[in-house]
Amino acid sequence: MVRTEILMMLALLASFSAVAPGQRTSTDRVIANYQAASSRSNNSADYGQLGSAYLQKARETADLSYYELAEKALTKSVDLAGEMNMAAAQPLIQLAAVYMGEHRFSEAADYAQRALALGSGDLSAFGLLGDAYADMGSYDQAAQCYGKLLVHLPSQEVSRGLSYMHDSRVSYLEFIHGNNRSAADLARRAVDRALEMHMPAENVAWSYFQLGEYLFQAGDIFGAEAVYQQALNVLPGYYRGLSGVAKVRVAEGNYADAIDLYRKAIDEIPIPEYIAALGDIYAKLEQREQARKQYHLVKFIGFLTNLNQHAYNRELALFYADHGVALSESLELAQRELEVRRDVYTEDVLAWSLYKNGKLNGAKAAIDKALSLGTRDALFYYHAGLIYRDLGDLECAQKYLQIALRINPHFHIFYADAARQALREVSSRHVIAKRGATAHED
């Protein structure tokens, strides 16, 4: 990339994070208050509150640098309290949440377990411990942890909070195990809990977004749009809600509106996934120079900082494999991700990277693991269809491509059409092969 493009991208990224003085959020004010309080008091509780506010800011902005700030404040809080003191439980739980955000899953599990060992009675640590197990692919252990959240306590507010944690998390496990309807039902219940508890707008909007994702994955694009719009009603300009509606517009073939929505989402938070999606729309419209700019920006953000490189391994691996570039690097990134994150999505990305590198047997082993729990993600089945086709197993290829299109006929801007074309070719070849086998028997 030439120097002028790099300078332009740095300026663009700076503009994303610029906040005018009059635009300070309530979280910014909390941060400022506890920055002042902690500097005066050197008190564990103040540092804990500061770390918690940084963590909330990371949720709101997807700016990974806030995780680093949260880690420093919360570590200071634990040090001041003393790690064996019950007062350290809350900052330890918050540190587990920070490490989840940074994709340091084994450390997240360790800190959640440390918090539980103090016996403070705060069961929310089980939620984070379950999250860490889920991302490491230990779904049974995750379910056991989430089950411990279903405790009826004297405080109705605490019980509702634990119920929210349970429903929002178990909905994901239900989705992973192919139970899309149950996943959506639990996600709806989580939304209701979030509204009842008057949770922060970002948390409520995220809950709506998660429900929208389950509906979109199941092919209900109209239901998904309604829920994404609810997220935007709760939190206007919410980047996830904007991206969700943009995805629906792509499925409808309304590319002009999709471009506008993705641009608005990226103006809020420059997430590589959204930038790649915008580039794909430009590529679909044969606006190659615009597509090229977006694709360059994806790679630039992915390697901008050490934390970005760690957090976006899987996204970059998938991006490279999808676009047929840096394929050896795609495979290296996918394998690196698998060292810390052994969930079905990492297995799928590994399978796709292996396939694109011509390693069909390895790709088959990985995609079989990705499909082993019955996850109803059309992209998994599309990948499986092509892998099995190239291995010569036309019957399985046909079955998997059919499932992909049955789950969601609009699952990808390019691959939905590619799946239909591949299915026609595979079905034709399969018929010819069966005729040949029958003739040979005769």
Distance between CA 156 and CA 160 in Å, rounded?
6
pLDDT confidence tier of residue 305, bands split at 50, 70 and 90? low
Q: What angle do CA 416, 422, 424 make, to 5 degrees?
A: 110
Does pLDDT of 23 surpass 80? Answer: no
Distance between CA 240 and CA 207 in Å, rounded?
11
pTM, whole model, 2 decimals?
A: 0.91
Confidence at residue 355, expressed as pLDDT on a 0 to 100 scale: 98
Mean pLDDT across the chain: 91
Does pLDDT of 93 surpass 60? Answer: yes
Does pLDDT of 15 surpass 60? Answer: no
Confidence at residue 151, expressed as pLDDT on a 0 to 100 scale: 72
Q: What DSSP state is assigned to residue 155?
A: -
Q: How far from the centroid of its chain's Cα atoms is residue 91's Cα?
A: 25
Distance between CA 171 and CA 168 in Å, rounded?
5
Distance between CA 408 and CA 132 in Å, rounded?
29
Q: Pick the residue with more confidence: 25 or 411?
A: 411
Give the lowest-confidence range in 69-78, 153-162, 356-365. 153-162
Give the lowest-confidence range in 70-74, 158-162, 257-261. 158-162
Distance between CA 244 and CA 262 in Å, rounded?
9
Contacts with 140 (C-beta within 8 Å, 6 or more apart), sequence order: none
For the domain with range 27-135, which CATH number is right: 1.20.810.10, 1.50.10.20, 1.25.40.10, 3.30.10.20? 1.25.40.10
* Helices (H), ranges, 177-270: 180-196, 201-217, 221-234, 239-252, 255-268
- What φ, ψ does residue 24 adopt, rounded to 5°? -65, 135
Confidence at residue 7, expressed as pLDDT on a 0 to 100 scale: 42
Give the lowest-confidence range in 41-45, 228-232, 271-275, 301-305. 301-305
Task: Let me know if 254 is exposed, middle or buried by CB neighbors in 10 A (0-12, 13-18, 19+).
Answer: middle
Sequence spans of domains, the chain: 27-135
Q: Which of 27-41, 238-252, 426-440 has the highest mean pLDDT?
A: 238-252
Distance between CA 264 and CA 11 in Å, rounded?
17
Confidence at residue 308, expressed as pLDDT on a 0 to 100 scale: 63
Confidence at residue 50, expressed as pLDDT on a 0 to 100 scale: 97
pLDDT confidence tier of residue 63, bands split at 50, 70 and 90? confident
Tokens at 222, concatenated: 């109209």
Does pLDDT of 21 surpass 60? Answer: no
Angle in degrees, 0-180, between the axes of helices 239-252 and 255-268, rounded to the nearest 10:
160
Mean of pLDDT values over 131-145: 97
What is the per-residue DSSP string for 377-435? -HHHHHHHHHHHHHTT-HHHHHHHHHHHHHH-TTS-TTHHHHHHHHHHHHHHHHHHHHH
Distance between CA 442 and CA 440 in Å, rounded?
5
Contacts 24+ apart (CB under 8 A), 2-7: 5/296, 6/300
Q: Pick the residue with more confidence: 6 or 365?
A: 365
Give the lowest-confidence range in 87-101, 108-122, 298-312. 298-312
Confidence at residue 11, expressed as pLDDT on a 0 to 100 scale: 44
Task: Look at residues 56, 58, 92 and name the one whose alpha carbon lies nearest to residue 74.
Answer: 92
Mean of pLDDT values over 292-315: 82
Q: Pick the residue with more confidence: 55 or 435?
A: 55
What is the per-residue DSSP string for 98-123? HHHHTT-HHHHHHHHHHHHHTT---T
The percentage of residues in the chain with a pLDDT greater than 90, rounded to a whole number, is: 81
Mean of pLDDT values over 277-303: 94
* Helices (H), ranges, 235-286: 239-252, 255-268, 272-284
Mean of pLDDT values over 31-57: 94
Task: Determine contact, residues 92/115, Cβ cutoff 8 Å.
Answer: yes
Task: Let me know if 1 is exposed, middle or buried by CB neighbors in 10 A (0-12, 13-18, 19+).
Answer: exposed
Mean of pLDDT values over 267-284: 95
Task: Look at residues 268, 219, 273, 272 and name the one whose alpha carbon lies nearest to residue 248.
Answer: 219
Contacts with 46 (C-beta within 8 Å, 6 or more apart), sequence order: 34, 37, 38
Task: Look at residues 350, 430, 440, 336 and name the one whose alpha carbon lies nearest to residue 389.
Answer: 430
Confidence at residue 177, expressed as pLDDT on a 0 to 100 scale: 98
Q: How far from the centroid of its chain's Cα atoms is residue 426's Cα?
A: 32
